[in-house]
Amino acid sequence: MAKDLICPNCGNSGHAKVVTKGSFIIELALWIMFIVPGIIYSLWRLTSRYEACPKCGASNMVPVDSPRGKKLISELS
């Protein structure tokens, strides 16, 4: 179950989105042309996923029920 988060950069609150680094097109090309680099690139993409703010893309969202999250909510209200 996803918890509510707040972004200290833009103030957006809600759920984070999962961002995967890299490019699907490059991954596909590496798989078609070269199997080993395709595997390595796919593994890197899978391990470099992170949750980000859906509005600004920042990766430092904090839970709204944490002390910092409560402070941000009170500052933005």
Q: What is the pLDDT of residues 4-53, one digit of tens each?
A: 899 998 888 888 899 999 999 999 999 998 888 889 999 999 999 999 99
Q: Are strands 50-52 and 17-19 parallel, antiparallel or unpaired?
A: antiparallel
Query: What confidence tens digit (pLDDT) does each residue in 50-68 have?
Result: 999 999 988 889 998 889 9
What pLDDT, on a 0 to 100 scale, did the predictor assign at position 1?
Answer: 45
pLDDT at residue 77 greater than cutoff 80: no
What mean pLDDT comes out for the span 63-77?
Answer: 87
Domain span at 34:
5-76
In the chain, the number of structural domains is: 1
Which secondary-structure segment (H or E) carries 74? helix 67-76
